[in-house]
Amino acid sequence: MPTGFHCAYPPCRCYVDKPGEYCSAHCRQAKAAGDADTQCHCHHPACTGRAEEDQDGSAD
């Protein structure tokens, strides 16, 4: 059930338990690296910030 808090990596739309948390190591590393990507590549099925190829199941 969504809590109302989104992952701390701006392109990611996954829900997390507390503000400032990350949904995955990928998002934590991308934010720390200053990754300015406009799409998220965490590959979580519920993430609406992911690339279209990730959404249709054709991602790596």
Q: Report the percentage of the chain scoring pLDDT > 90.
A: 58
Domain that holds residue 14: 1-60
Query: How many alpha carbons fall within 13 Å on the CB side of residue 2?
Result: 9
Domains of the chain: total: 1
Q: Are 26 and 51 in contact (CB under 8 A)?
A: no
Q: For the segment 18-45, what is each residue's pLDDT rounded down to a tens digit?
A: 999 999 999 999 999 988 778 999 999 9
From CA 18, how far away is CA 58, in angstroms rounded? 31
Mean pLDDT of all residues in 46-51: 77
What pTM does this model have?
Answer: 0.73
Burial class (CB in 10 A: 0-12, 13-18, 19+), 21: middle
Residue 52's pLDDT band (cuts 50, 70, 90): low
